[in-house]
Amino acid sequence: MNRTILPILAAIALLVPCRLDAQDAAASPAQDTVTPPPSDYVSRAEYDKLKAEHETMKKELDALKDAVRQMANGTAPAVPSGTPPAAEAPSAAKQVVSTTTSQPAATSGEAETSSTELSGPLATHDFSIVGDAEVQFGKISRQHGAFMLADFAPIFLFRGGDKILFEAGFDFILQNNAPGGSGYTTTVNLSFATLDYIINDYVTFVGGNMLLPLGTYSERSAGWLNKFPDAPLPRAVLPGNGVGVQLRGAIPIGERGASVTYSAFVDNGVSSVDGTANADQLDLGGNVGLTSDGRFANLHGGAGWGGRVAAFLPWKPTYDVEIGVSGMSSPWDNRARRQYSALIADWAVHVGPYIEVKGEYMNTWVGTDNAGAIDPDGWWIQAGYKLGGLKLNVPYLDKLELVGRYDTVDDGLGSRTERGTFGAVYYVTNTLWLEGDYEFTNNHGPNRLPDDSLLFQVSYGF
Amino acid sequence: MGFSYLVMRTSKQNNSFFPRSAQLIHLPVVAAVSAVVALIALSVSAQTPKATSKLKEETTTTTAAKAEPLSGAQLWTMNCSRCHMARNPGEFTAAQWRTIIRHMRIRANLPASQVKELQKYLEAGAGK
């Protein structure tokens, strides 16, 4: 037994000093520093924390690299296209979040920066197409029901540099050739085509075939923007567009979004079908382009002029009032002796995101050779209420808007028509609408307009 | 099916909504109505800062924040939904937004200062 113990003891005797030396070596710094450790000392907990942060940042960096790689390959996931509710204005925080739907890990500041960087340098010019398309079914009293409209209305936009925009809108419509012929024709109308030049923050030059700023319907309510399948009746007493030049702009009032806007134009004015100043020959859409024999189509050589002044007064987002006054004057017969004048008042009120009321009143004065001075006039008012305002949380009802309109027109030649329209708009998406309306029409006088109608329309804005 | 009960009858049966004697005063009438509406609207808008001033003692910082210019997101809600359902920033690319916002600036007569904020907001959230 002693033989076995002795070697063990000897080994212990040899090892113990070594072990003590090692312990001394290891312990000496601590023993030397009974005082606090130096400032560059990193504890285990701090090290682990830093390591975890490093790993997190590494993962975020990898995610960003993947996102950049995907975008470079054109395979980046699309940003969700659903419309955020317009109930209240998004806060600044929401604004930033919405910019980074593909970068959920980024913080707000990082998101804004990276989003701008990822978008890359913006082109100094761009060609885009927007517009709308409609399909309509109608049943007019004492007529067969029919699909009566297929309208494709693209707007071509070309932005050049910082100042220029060229915009042209078209209407592609099917026109049946009956009763004069068979089949149908596809008509293409140039709704407008203008070259716009931004002179400064307050003045923009517009030249070409312009939508005239008479009221707001032509510029901002027609087509896809209209909650009804057809236009208000009294718009027929006004020209929709004219060829000429225009200066327009806006002056902000305060910091709460209010502004005063103006438009002033000079154009060829209105015209006469046969050149005379007989009352039934007024041609509001004429006086443009070249005639078939190569002559300028300006019948009278006189100019039309007019404009609009308006105030937009919001008190918070989606709560606002806009009122405007506009008018124009132009000779219209071939001798330029008879004058056409128009005066329009327009208004629009939004009470939250669910209630809208707007309308126009227009009066025109037309000097004629055979009927003295006539005054075609009319007015319309429409209202809409989105049922989402009831907070019912019923999926289909929440996307429904009830709409109503009253419009009346007097042609100044002995005929007057009143119409009441009631219907609804169902918003499938923010750009795809289903519209259904019933129109009650009451005619007086010889020039009758279509009777009661039931109309359905699918509208898509793109 | 008529709706004559909706029709406003006037002394003028054939030519216009107003009697002929009243036609000459259309212009001042419209101007007066517009002025009244403008005054009402201005008074409504003028009441908003008064309401906030009542809260000034309690929420000085909040009032100060309300005096700041509107953000691009607020302008987006305020201006775009006036005429149509507002388009989500992600529906167009940044380059397309630059073109579309210029189109809308001219068409809707939007002030340049607001357009700049709108453009920042739309481009920041633009689709790829």
CATH code (residue A219): 2.40.160.10
pLDDT digits (tens, 9 = 90+) for A168-213: 999 998 877 888 888 888 889 999 999 999 999 999 999 999 999 9
Q: Which of A84-93, A156-165, A331-340, A390-399 has the lowest mean pLDDT?
A: A84-93
Residues of A in contact with B86 (CB under 8 A): 83-84, 86, 430
Distance, in angstroms, between B35 CA and closest chain A CA? Answer: 9
Q: What percent of chain A has pLDDT over 90?
A: 56
A317–B contact, CB cutoff 8 A? yes
Residue A357: inside a domain: yes
pLDDT digits (tens, 9 = 90+) for A73-117: 544 433 333 344 443 444 433 333 333 333 333 334 444 444 444
pLDDT of residue A4: 52
Residue A267: inside a domain: yes
Single out the residue of A219, A343, A88 nearest to residue B109, CA to CA: A219
Give the confidence band of A295 by pLDDT, cuts at 50, 70, 90: confident
Note whether A247 and A375 are same-domain residues. Answer: yes
Residue A166: inside a domain: yes
Contact call for B17 and A377, based on CB within 8 A: yes
Q: How far apart are CA B24 and CA B17, in angstroms?
A: 13
* ipTM rounded to 2 decimals: 0.73
A262–B contact, CB cutoff 8 A? yes
Indicate the average pLDDT of chain A.
82
Rounded mean pLDDT of A382-390? 96
Name the residue with higher pLDDT: A131 or A288: A131
Instruction: Look up residue A63 and give its two tokens.
Output: 């995610």
3-state secondary structure of A9: helix
Note whether A115 and A250 are same-domain residues. Answer: no
Residues of A in contact with B3 (CB under 8 A): 418, 420, 440, 442
Residue A134: inside a domain: yes
Name the residue with higher pLDDT: A435 or A32: A435
Residue A159: inside a domain: yes
Is pLDDT above 90 for B126?
Answer: yes
Count of other CB atoms within 10 angstroms of residue A4:
7
**Domain of A99, in residue numbers:** 92-121
Name the residue with higher pLDDT: A90 or A436: A436
Single out the residue of A452, A422, A438, A228 nearest to residue B2, CA to CA: A452
List all residues 6 or more positions away from A347 whose beta carbon is below 8 Å from its beta carbon: A321, A322, A323, A324, A358, A359, A360, B37
Number of structural domains found in chain A: 2
Note whether A113 and A234 are same-domain residues. Answer: no
Rounded mean pLDDT of A441-446? 91
pLDDT digits (tens, 9 = 90+) for B4-18: 333 333 333 333 334
Residue A257: inside a domain: yes
Q: Provide the residue ranges of all domains of chain B, joining segments of one domain with +.
A: 13-68, 69-128
Rounded mean pLDDT of A380-391? 96
Rounded mean pLDDT of B37-46? 47
Let me know: does A326 contact A341? Beta carbons within 8 Å. no
A101–B contact, CB cutoff 8 A? yes
Residue A9: inside a domain: no
Note whether A107 and A176 are same-domain residues. Answer: no
Note whether A303 and A163 are same-domain residues. Answer: yes
Rounded mean pLDDT of A425-439? 95
Is pTM beyond 0.80? Reply is: no
Backbone angles phi, psi at A277, to 5 degrees: -105, 30
pLDDT of residue B11: 31
pLDDT digits (tens, 9 = 90+) for A120-171: 556 788 999 999 999 999 999 888 998 877 789 999 999 999 999 999 999 9
CA distances to A89, A117, A251, B42, B66 from B49, rounded to whole Å, are: 18, 38, 21, 12, 9
Residue of B nearest to A413 (CA): B15
Name the residue with higher pLDDT: A92 or A395: A395
